[in-house]
Amino acid sequence: MPLKENKLKTYLLVGGLIYLLLFYFSLHMGHAVYLDEAATKAAEISSSIQFGTYGNAASAPVVKESINWFTVAFEALANMSENPVAIWPLSIKFLIPALFFLVCVAFGIGWMLAIGDTKRQDAPGKEHGSAKWNLDYANYYKQFVEPYDSRKDPFDPNMPFSNRVMLNLNNKKTGRNANVFVVGGPGTGKSFRVIKPSLMQMNCSMITTDPSGELMQCCGKPLHEHGIKLKLFSTSDMKHSNCYNPFDYIFDENGEVEESKVSTMINLFLENASGSSSKSKGDPFWDKSARALMAALAYYMLENPMTNQVRKGKRYAPDINFCTMLKLVQAGKVSEESETSQSALDKLMEEHRLLMKTEGRESKALSNYDTFKLAPGKTANSILITVAVDLQMFNNEDVRNLTRHDYEDEENNLQLDKIGDEQTALFINIPQANTTFNFLVSMLYAQMFDALYTKAEKICPKKWMLIDQYNRPVITMLNSEDEAKRLLEDLKTATVKEYKTPRDASRFQIVIGNKVIQEKPTRETAQAVIDNAANYKVQKGDLRLPWHIRCLMDEFANIGSVPMFSEKLTTMRKYEISCTIVVQNIAQIKEKYDKLFESIIGGCDTIVFLGSSENETCKYISDTLGETTVRTRNISLSHGQKGGSSEGFGTSKRMLLTPEEVKNLDNKECIVIIRGLHPFRDLKYDFSKHPHFSETGNASRNNELSEEFIEKYFNTKPVKKKKVTKKRQQKAVALVAGKSEYANDLEGANQIMQDNRVTKENIEERMEAQISTKTNTENKKDAMDERESIKKALKEDTGTSMSDSTFMF
């Protein structure tokens, strides 16, 4: 309707102007006729007087002659140009028929327009659909592609989708989010045509699911050499990975335990580790009881001052992990025949209750444990067995090492909350045939999103950073503008210092005086930070991460369920996070997320179809492409005595590509659908033509990561320590007690206690806690003897019994 109204207004306006122009011209023609008549009459009178036919001019008759309208028209035009307002006097006898003629003409034109408008089509050529292939690449590049000159900037700021289609990573400029849904069957080029080119763009931080480990082998070395920090989480080869302890990511921006994050961690474990899901039907009592038990044990470890310590201003909690939780669960078994019997876990909780009462603190551990203990002995044992079975995998040495926090080398931890601070490439290696530990990947993604959201919302707006001439972050997380300006000035005197990790991996530190400003993977990239300091400027942080993070989620269906993933897809854009979801067919994601699969696909402004033979996938792509209008030719023949034929043309609708045509798409071609634009049908991206292809493992096996590199940079095994003898243990105990002949051997005792994560301060703290508890408790005889407490603590900190926790005291 609005389109028709606009057309009508245009017709009226143009018609009115034409009518006024004709009317104005008619007035000048009337004036010209009047002048011609007057001139003719004057000539006749003059001639009559000259020949004496009449006595005077008044009695001379006027001779009527026919009017030459062409002459009049030219005279009117000449008069309009010489004197536009000279329209009086005029010949009325001409004006009346002229005006009548104009009215008739105007009425006729209006009638024709009205009749024509009723017969005119609203969308000619689009009667049944307007879908078509997008061929206007020039206009597309102007709006959606960032100009890039490789001679000035080595990092292309665009995301490649096909041979000619790419999209600027800056979603503010494009008005589109950077989420991409990629669907393609085996052999269609998901890795070679999409994932690897995206990695080698090197324009953001990247988190890449790498099922076979081939992506890191191929692209890891050039990423490392270009100054991008490499991280690896592998459930295929747990010995060669960085450490990931889920308990590291349950704290808020102030370092305090956040209950919602603890609950999320426990829920993720129970939902994914046991293979249950929200669709499974069963008695919720067991799940809720297991959650209460695990929450009690988690808070017990977090509230215990002996396990959650602070050393040199930093948190030190090597025993807070799922392995310790398993040992606590194993210590919880009680006799089913006696309601009054206590397990070792019950006794630990009673000691904890006494400690919390003495310190005047409320305990979430005790609250959850009391809820769990409402169950009778037999039921409680069943719950304990269920949880112990789920946690049993953490009894494996490789799993235990993988899920601990490495305090000897902090860079050997994943540090998920720092991925947006500096350019990082995290590879997640998942075994293709074994999904046992995929719950860890699901938990990793969930905690990563949570940590990054918290950082973007609550930390980044308060920070400052240095950016280069391309507006890319260089040094981030600075506390004030003054600090940033001082750093910018001090970078002129900075130096590069090589640092060797406990596993002999090389890292290169940018040092000002004795202060380490930043670490880089190579000396060249560290020196480049110093050399380019003249191009840096100070910038305030925003409600977003400094570096954009792309999650390249290959084999998305095998990752495990990420809670509220569809909601995250629609909100992550403002925090500079995006996801590229890669599946083999629609059925995979539909099975994993049920009805939410449409929301997940809808959260991606770009769809890349590489090819598939699966019927549902081909129909989905066909429906998404839409319908188009085609011109048809109809021929009819009639036979008989009066036979004849007729031919006609019309329009009809058809799919832009039918499901059969989608299924038969050439393997060299792909389809790119970007929200708000006509789809592109283009050749797939040729990775071999990428500017950085020659640096990758696909170009030469010499460009792959070496086994030595992997051993040094990705290793979960604890650094070897000196063997502690029984005699040296006795020296340490005697030193603390102050009653031994070895009391002067301070250096040896300190070394022993450090090797066993027991220091003099630890034992003294335990002694003080026990004495304080004893002093403030009416029933003093129930308190432990100080000397026995020390011995027990030291014994259990160095022991290996699975029935005891390393911190039971």
Are the beta carbons of 697 and 218 closer than 8 angstroms?
Answer: yes
Model confidence at 110: pLDDT above 90? no
Model confidence at 599: pLDDT above 90? yes
pLDDT of 98 reads 65
Place of tokens 């290169």: 508
Model confidence at 153: pLDDT above 50? yes
Are the beta carbons of 465 and 484 closer than 8 angstroms?
Answer: yes
Q: What is the mean pLDDT of residues 236-251?
A: 96
Model confidence at 53: pLDDT above 70? no
Are the beta carbons of 776 and 358 closer than 8 angstroms?
Answer: yes
- Give the whole-angstrom CA distance, residue 243 versus residue 232: 9
279-314: pLDDT as tens digits: 445 578 888 999 999 999 999 999 988 887 887 777
Classify the C-alpha dihedral 320-323-325-327 as positive or negative. negative
390-434: pLDDT as tens digits: 999 999 999 999 999 999 999 999 999 999 999 999 999 998 888
- Give the whole-angstrom CA distance, residue 45 versus residue 57: 5
642-699: pLDDT as tens digits: 666 666 666 778 899 999 999 999 999 999 999 999 999 999 999 999 999 999 999 9
- Give the whole-angstrom CA distance, residue 175 versus residue 171: 6
Question: Taking the C-alpha atoms of 42, 48, 54 and 59 in order, what is their torsion angle to the nearest 10 degrees?
Answer: -20
Q: Which of 192-201, 709-718, 765-774 has the lowest mean pLDDT?
A: 765-774
pLDDT of 50 reads 57
- Give the whole-angstrom CA distance, residue 60 versus residue 46: 9
- Give the whole-angstrom CA distance, residue 38 versus residue 681: 76
pLDDT of 297 reads 97
- Give the whole-angstrom CA distance, residue 708 versus residue 403: 23
Greatest pairwise CA separation for the chain in angstroms: 168
Model confidence, pTM: 0.77
pLDDT of 645 reads 67
pLDDT of 807 reads 43
Q: State percent of the chain over pLDDT 70.
A: 75
- Give the whole-angstrom CA distance, residue 42 versus residue 697: 106
- Identify the band that residue 108 occupies on the pLDDT scale cut at 50, 70 and 90: confident
Task: Return the beta strands (E) in 534-575 as ranges.
Answer: 537-540, 549-553
Q: Which residues contact 382 (CB under 8 A, 6 or more apart)?
A: 286
Q: What is the mean pLDDT of residues 332-347?
A: 80
- Give the whole-angstrom CA distance, residue 695 versus residue 699: 7
**Three-state secondary-structure class, residue 723:** coil
Are the beta carbons of 538 and 481 closer than 8 angstroms?
Answer: yes
Q: Which of 378-382, 500-504, 546-550, 558-562 has the lowest mean pLDDT?
A: 558-562
Are the beta carbons of 583 and 604 closer than 8 angstroms?
Answer: no
Are the beta carbons of 413 and 249 closer than 8 angstroms?
Answer: no
- Give the whole-angstrom CA distance, residue 786 versus residue 738: 13
574-590: pLDDT as tens digits: 999 999 999 999 999 99
- Give the whole-angstrom CA distance, residue 353 versus residue 724: 34
pLDDT of 746 reads 41
All structural domains of the chain with their residue ranges = 2-119, 126-133+162-243+416-459+543-638+645-718, 246-405, 464-540, 726-798
- Looking at 1.10.1200.10, 3.40.50.300, 3.30.70.100, 3.40.50.720, the CATH number of the domain 126-133+162-243+416-459+543-638+645-718 comes to 3.40.50.300
pLDDT of 63 reads 47
Q: What is the mean pLDDT of residues 17-27?
A: 74
- Give the whole-angstrom CA distance, residue 299 versus residue 291: 12
Are the beta carbons of 353 and 772 closer than 8 angstroms?
Answer: no
Model confidence at 528: pLDDT above 90? yes
Query: Which is nearest to 423 in space by CA: 230, 576, 249, 579?
Result: 230
**Three-state secondary-structure class, residue 338:** coil
Place of tokens 């763009």: 201
Model confidence at 453: pLDDT above 80? yes
Model confidence at 340: pLDDT above 60? yes
694-738: pLDDT as tens digits: 999 999 999 999 999 999 999 999 987 655 556 656 655 555 555
247 or 93, which is more confident: 247
- Identify the band that residue 27 occupies on the pLDDT scale cut at 50, 70 and 90: confident
pLDDT of 795 reads 46
- Rounded to 5 degrees, φ, ψ at 438 are -65, -20
- Identify the band that residue 122 occupies on the pLDDT scale cut at 50, 70 and 90: low
Q: What is the mean pLDDT of residues 430-457?
A: 91
Q: Which of 83-87, 125-129, 796-800 has the lowest mean pLDDT?
A: 796-800
489-519: pLDDT as tens digits: 999 999 999 999 999 999 999 999 999 999 9
**How many other β-carbons are positioned within 10 Å of the β-carbon of residue 712?**
15
- Rounded to the nearest integer, the mean pLDDT of the chain is 82
- Identify the band that residue 22 occupies on the pLDDT scale cut at 50, 70 and 90: confident
**Three-state secondary-structure class, residue 753:** helix
Q: Which residues contact 93 (CB under 8 A, 6 or more apart)?
A: none
Classify the C-alpha dihedral 401-402-403-404 as positive or negative. positive
Half-sphere exposure of residue 618, counting CA atoms within 13 Å on the CB side? 15
